[in-house]
Structure 1
């Protein structure tokens, strides 16, 4: 990753954007100006109603003074689901707004169903086995054609495969119909020495303490790696223990020594942190310089990994077909769910769900390329290292260059994509990114031939993965909103390419051609 291409990509990004301002975003002068624009010239563009209120989530200011302010919306004090917006302005002049909400109409906010009745309706969909007492709150659901008063019901539990679930159901407060649902736990279906399972010896940063060392990385925000002791995630957060060691050598290259998987996850987190910092100027998942916790040995014989909104969790695999899921592209994938949560907030439903999963696959692959580990060369296969036997390196959970190759994902966009599982509707975004980065035709990465067809029969010339990643990241950070659709993602990435490289540039034209090549027009 020391190539001049990377340097050029980094220079381009740094020339475009200054670091985002978080925390007291509402008090930032840019946020105050954005709210003033919403009160005036931007009111129609954001479909503002009289009782709408806006709160700045964060602010980003380009080097040329262009301001991007991400806002959450409420109506009469109720959260508006799908009402978030990004205001783009310069010198106090409104330029444009990124949003999905389609109307100024608002519902009557007097419910005809009680919260308990809404919980019953959600419970029918969820089934038995939820934990604790479900919660329900009134919201305005605005991801459809017209905003609707609804209850957001949250039900937590555990699936049959041991994966935890926090299901959010949006129940029409008048009819009891479930309008939408999504899970906020996102899975992947998949300077000591770490003696790792997949990578052999790797250098990891640990913390020196009295009597030895702990798997805590103070150079990356104090992120830590813990042994979940084969508990569920909810028990692990109470009972998990930070890995400690006397000689700063961790594991024995097998899962027999519990520190082997711990060191592998610790390494993957470090590579992901460094990738985001060096390629995109991002300081941790939440861009606040703070690390998060990683738990390994979650559940028993568990073939999955997930991000639960604040930490990463990795299963051991089944020991027959699958190894521990602590490999590089899985670590990058899970942490990138956190980055999506912290930026656009892409929900796990419809096109936005597919874009959320594609975003994680894209940056999981980029982390693998960034790490440049000889035992896992960069490629566009997701999770190929989790297989115990994969001599040709061709088994994978997903294939970004030809998503339909897994027999479940889609390579081309259609109206049916929004109803698919996000892991499979992600194929459209993965295919777009591969074509943008590498182009169509046949290439070889990591010893595996990647042949990428196009949906419209055209030939696409790639712009390089660093330029493609710079465009995608800027779109995620500044132009995607929580409910962005694939057609809106086309517009967002074109805006990002225009910002970095200029309208009509080779990069801008390649973005347009790559979306058309996956039937997003």
Structure 2
């Protein structure tokens, strides 16, 4: 995958991807098995979970009934949550908790046009009362005109020029450009979405989405829709496979898991391929000399991923509908990648350099399948910070699959792609304990993170998950040595991988939206942890500390675990592209100077926070820069905690937070801010 454009106002991706994702970029799939019988609580592995907030395991008929109910009442729901007369909801997914709370995920239309970035989640109590609405955008959906000044043909030509510049081997759009409302960033705008097909320059299928302003012809955004992503297997040893026998013929058809099938593309790059079929039920020989070896690896990976989601979260297939996707192996010639594709609802594996190392290892299969799960839940846009969270979700769940399988030939670890030798030197593709060890990923969040390729901006979220699971510092797990640092130099105590997985999955399925960024992911995972384990226990505090350890938000208790805070809750408006404003806090009753680790925590509402420059002004009048201007930081709001060496200031006196908006199009508010003396 190529990194997305980081131009002004273009760093969010559309609310719904049409197709696929790759490992180097790698993506996701999940096969599915039919559930039946009465609803019951998910069989949770984590322990000490508040069962009231655990998602129920629903039969296909129960899920279908909830979806029908949501569809029947969607007009009432739209009015109840304050949508405009021209806005309508489209039901996408539903999750029901044991206490009767229903989390319904919707897409949105405006005057009949899809709203990209308009998705939302509505939480409804058993009583029918709306408890919470989580929106991908807080902007009011309204456009001045629905008559485009730009023709669809012109929009298509602009999109094609973008595709050619990115190496597309196709000269036509897959479909005629469609009119949409672009709402993922800035002011909602009438736009065209054009999808360019063909192939990328490395042989990966191409589904480049280009969003063009329908009035000016300006490119608003682009993103890639392809998310890159007895059996004698090459990587997992001899395993048991579920297959189907018809007469004297056996096929790689798993009837117990939604009918998942594995096909042989025989180095082709289109179509379904040929279903693996033979006269005996022993598949492959553990080497690439037998085409069925890769088939056995892929089939086993789909099997284990299905069981992982079912037994860990109660999820039946990618769409949670009991229906299977399918797998294709031997894609292309020496193709060094794997990908999930929404359009075929399948995952596809290349054979690696020299066709010697098929990308069919267990964690890769779990990674690719999980892209499908993300696509059918939060729909995290595959670009910017949300794209990094999308990739991290697949790494997190792929790691969960590997530990779940408990396979002695491929033991669980926090390394991604360690079996497939994609670098040619035996090293893993990614490291979760210290992502920067791969040479490109980042260990911690920073304002320019969203401008990186999504496979590198995923690093901080992978690091968060490792810290939440295992804690910081040196550790040996299944024979692998890890040594995980923290951004603030403070330790993190892990809560175990099982609980960490439960928290991430609940946030993914009930809190995240298409435009969720790192700050919002912190909010979502804290909400999930609170619902599952309470807000006063070790789990909630560990989530706070693990995020702080990658430079997102503050520690539990503030700073290094405690201290005295002084806060101003007086709201101050921030003018658009105007003069600086200040908010004051008076500190008294302390002795001596301020510490060298004074904690400053603003709570500022502002879309496109990169516009803001923020300073702390000490009692002496000295300014301490907290945040610089950044044209690429498109995230909403500022809620981070900053550490300031204020040891030259007297502690007592008036401290000020100074904020200036240095670019047009957005206004904001200082809701509150606090300083904490550890």
TM-score under structure 2 normalisation?
Answer: 0.71
In the alignment, the residues of structure 2 paired with residue 313 and residue 224 of structure 1 have an alpha-carbon distance, to the nearest angstrom, of 12
What's 1:345 paired with?
379
- Asked which structure has the greater RCO (Cα within 8 Å, sep 6+), the reply is 2
- 1:308 matched to 2:348? The reply is no
- 1:267 matched to 2:267? The reply is no
In the alignment, the residues of structure 2 paired with residue 121 and residue 361 of structure 1 have an alpha-carbon distance, to the nearest angstrom, of 35
Deviation readout 1:405-440 (Å, 9 max, x if unpaired): 111111111121111111110111111111111111
SS in 2 for 1:290: coil
Pick from 261, 266, 290: which aligns with 1:257? 290
Q: Following TM superposition, by how much is the alpha carbon of 1:445 offset from its aligned partner in structure 2, in angstroms?
A: 2.5
Q: Which has the larger radius of gyration?
A: 2
- 1:428 matched to 2:464? The reply is no
What's 1:280 paired with?
313
SS in 2 for 1:250: coil
- 1:204 matched to 2:241? The reply is yes
Q: Following TM superposition, by how much is the alpha carbon of 1:25 offset from its aligned partner in structure 2, in angstroms?
A: 5.1
- 1:504 matched to 2:540? The reply is no
Pick from 123, 126, 130: which aligns with 2:170? 130
SS in 1 for 2:95: strand
Q: Following TM superposition, by how much is the alpha carbon of 1:38 offset from its aligned partner in structure 2, in angstroms?
A: 3.6
- 1:31–1:59 CA contact under 8 A, matched in 2: no
SS in 1 for 2:353: coil
- 1:18 matched to 2:56? The reply is yes
What's 2:450 paired with?
418
Task: Quickly say closer, same or farther: Cα 1:304–1:403, change in 2 above 3 A.
Answer: same
Deviation readout 1:79-105 (Å, 9 max, x if unpaired): 000100001121122211111212114
Q: Following TM superposition, by how much is the alpha carbon of 1:200 offset from its aligned partner in structure 2, in angstroms?
A: 2.0
What's 1:407 paired with?
439
Range moving further from structure 2, 290-299 or 131-140: 131-140
In the alignment, the residues of structure 1 paired with residue 100 and residue 91 of structure 2 have an alpha-carbon distance, to the nearest angstrom, of 18
Q: Following TM superposition, by how much is the alpha carbon of 1:73 offset from its aligned partner in structure 2, in angstroms?
A: 0.5
Deviation readout 1:252-293 (Å, 9 max, x if unpaired): 111110001100110011000000000000001111111111
In the alignment, the residues of structure 1 paired with residue 138 and residue 179 of structure 2 have an alpha-carbon distance, to the nearest angstrom, of 21
In the alignment, the residues of structure 2 paired with residue 390 and residue 179 of structure 1 have an alpha-carbon distance, to the nearest angstrom, of 38
What's 2:395 paired with?
361
What's 2:196 paired with?
155
What's 2:210 paired with?
169
Q: Following TM superposition, by how much is the alpha carbon of 1:199 offset from its aligned partner in structure 2, in angstroms?
A: 2.1
Task: Quickly say closer, same or farther: Cα 1:254–1:268, change in 2 above 3 A.
Answer: same
Range moving further from structure 2, 445-454 or 466-475: 445-454
In the alignment, the residues of structure 1 paired with residue 321 and residue 313 of structure 2 have an alpha-carbon distance, to the nearest angstrom, of 14
- 2:464–2:549 CA contact under 8 A, matched in 1: yes
- The number of aligned residues is 500
Which blocks of at least 5 consecutive residues in structure 1 are unaligned? none
In the alignment, the residues of structure 1 paired with residue 98 and residue 199 of structure 2 have an alpha-carbon distance, to the nearest angstrom, of 47
What's 2:137 paired with?
101
Deviation readout 1:282-312 (Å, 9 max, x if unpaired): 0011111111110000000111100011101
- 2:110–2:141 CA contact under 8 A, matched in 1: no
- 2:46–2:502 CA contact under 8 A, matched in 1: no
Supply the RMSD in Å over aligned alpha carbons.
Answer: 2.0
In the alignment, the residues of structure 1 paired with residue 139 and residue 423 of structure 2 have an alpha-carbon distance, to the nearest angstrom, of 53
User: Going by fraction, where is helix more abundant, 1 or 2?
Assistant: 1
Deviation readout 1:172-215 (Å, 9 max, x if unpaired): 11111211111221113xxxx11111222111110011222101
- 1:412–1:455 CA contact under 8 A, matched in 2: yes
In the alignment, the residues of structure 1 paired with residue 302 and residue 406 of structure 2 have an alpha-carbon distance, to the nearest angstrom, of 15
What's 1:396 paired with?
428
What's 1:57 paired with?
92
Task: Quickly say closer, same or farther: Cα 1:83–1:140, change in 2 above 3 A.
Answer: same
What's 2:550 paired with?
518
- 1:449 matched to 2:486? The reply is no
In the alignment, the residues of structure 1 paired with residue 193 and residue 283 of structure 2 have an alpha-carbon distance, to the nearest angstrom, of 45
In the alignment, the residues of structure 1 paired with residue 114 and residue 212 of structure 2 have an alpha-carbon distance, to the nearest angstrom, of 14
Task: Quickly say closer, same or farther: Cα 1:200–1:61, change in 2 above 3 A.
Answer: closer
Q: Following TM superposition, by how much is the alpha carbon of 1:22 offset from its aligned partner in structure 2, in angstroms?
A: 4.7
What's 2:128 paired with?
92
TM-score under structure 1 normalisation?
Answer: 0.92
In the alignment, the residues of structure 2 paired with residue 401 and residue 8 of structure 1 have an alpha-carbon distance, to the nearest angstrom, of 21
Range moving further from structure 2, 54-63 or 73-82: 54-63
In the alignment, the residues of structure 2 paired with residue 25 and residue 165 of structure 1 have an alpha-carbon distance, to the nearest angstrom, of 36
Pick from 68, 71, 74: which aligns with 2:109? 74
Deviation readout 1:213-266 (Å, 9 max, x if unpaired): 10100000000001011001xx232xx111112120111111110001100110
In the alignment, the residues of structure 1 paired with residue 46 and residue 429 of structure 2 have an alpha-carbon distance, to the nearest angstrom, of 32
In the alignment, the residues of structure 2 paired with residue 169 and residue 24 of structure 1 have an alpha-carbon distance, to the nearest angstrom, of 36
What's 1:335 paired with?
369
SS in 2 for 1:450: strand
Pick from 402, 408, 420: which aligns with 1:386? 420
In the alignment, the residues of structure 1 paired with residue 241 and residue 498 of structure 2 have an alpha-carbon distance, to the nearest angstrom, of 25
